Amino acid sequence: MAGIYPFSTVIAALLDESKPFPARYLDQFSDIDPDHLRQLKKVWQQIPLIRRKRLLEDLEDLLEKNTLLSFNDLAENLIKDPDAEIREIAIRLLWEVEDIERIPTLLEILNSDPSGSVSATAAGSLGFFISLGELEKIPNVLLKRVEEELLKAARENPKPLTRRRAIEALGASSRPEIHDLIVSAYASADPQWIASALYAMGRSCDQSWEKQIINRFHHSDESVRLEAIQAAGELALESARGPLLRLLEDEEQGSELEHAILWSLSQIGGEGVREKLESRLETSSDTDEDFLEEALENLNLTNDMASFTLLDVGGYEDQYDDIDGKN
């Protein structure tokens, strides 16, 4: 529980290079008190760089496990840190924060940060606001501004990683220009560009990419295969179910690709998926057990959503039957 240790103790532990920083202090940075933040800022540059980075990485891991935590205040104070890696992690700590006040800062980083990895991370973070805009959760004028800046970055930014991340972020946009950008990236001979195109396809809610995605299940580059598999799940491509089940037979149990296949199958659902997940659970290691149980829970959600859809369709059919005098 935050606040149970004097913050001076936390500061002293950060400065003490002779010992690892205790994990029990990590949640002291969630919703950090303004006075504590001021204390931290005073000594921040005195803390060895590797220790600062490790602290933020630990906070990132903690946030992934517990989304009720918030390191927003700390991250916002570090988003312009002198160290590029610190800036990058700070952006990631703010990844899904629905605060439109962040947009100008992210656009500035996208266009001006000297580090390619930092500007690319800013592009990825702006993709979250594209998704919000498509759901009409941010003003349309802001959505258009973000789209225009990302389109410019995708076409003109001198850093290849930033151009790729901009295309990935734009995948969720319904702007017609995005289609050609994705097609161009997909046609590249560079696996990194193909992977970015597939990632964008997965964000698009557009099942017309079905053929391109399934065609990359057997690509020679593992990163391309991984993105294709994940895109099939994000779009819930029913035609991918059979190929994914067959692909699963060749993958080592517990591998990243196997996990990606199983998760995508849980997003698609349908015949044979539950049996396969349950079979894998029976023979799984302790480290895989939690993942497989989560995949089964996700499959239940997928099946529930499919049932609701069928009920809705059935309801409308009944109404039309009544109109036609069939009931």
pLDDT of 53-88, one tens digit each? 999 999 999 999 999 999 999 999 999 999 999 999
For residue range 4-41, what is the model confidence (pLDDT) as tens digits?
Answer: 789 999 999 999 999 999 999 999 999 999 999 999 99
The structure's pTM equals 0.89
Mean pLDDT of 241-252: 93
138 and 81 assigned to the same domain = no
81 and 131 assigned to the same domain = no
Average pLDDT, the chain: 92
Has residue 13 been placed in a domain? yes
Has residue 140 been placed in a domain? yes
154 and 172 assigned to the same domain = yes
86 and 140 assigned to the same domain = no
| Residue 310 pLDDT greater than 60, yes or no | no
* Domain end marker among 185, 210, 233: 185
Domain span at residue 105 reads 99-185
115 and 169 assigned to the same domain = yes
Mean pLDDT of 235-259: 93
Mean pLDDT of 101-129: 97
Give pLDDT, residue 309: 60
* Domain end marker among 64, 81, 97: 97
DSSP structure string for 162-212: HHHHHHHHHTT---THHHHHHHHHHT-SSHHHHHHHHHHHHHTT-GGGHHH
| Residue 274 pLDDT greater than 60, yes or no | yes
Has residue 249 been placed in a domain? no
* Domain end marker among 148, 163, 185: 185
How many separate domains does the chain show? 2
Has residue 236 been placed in a domain? no
84 and 7 assigned to the same domain = yes
Alpha helices in the chain (DSSP H): 7-15, 34-43, 49-65, 72-78, 84-93, 103-112, 116-134, 140-156, 160-170, 177-186, 191-203, 210-214, 222-234, 241-248, 256-268, 273-282, 286-324
Count the residues in the chain.
Answer: 327
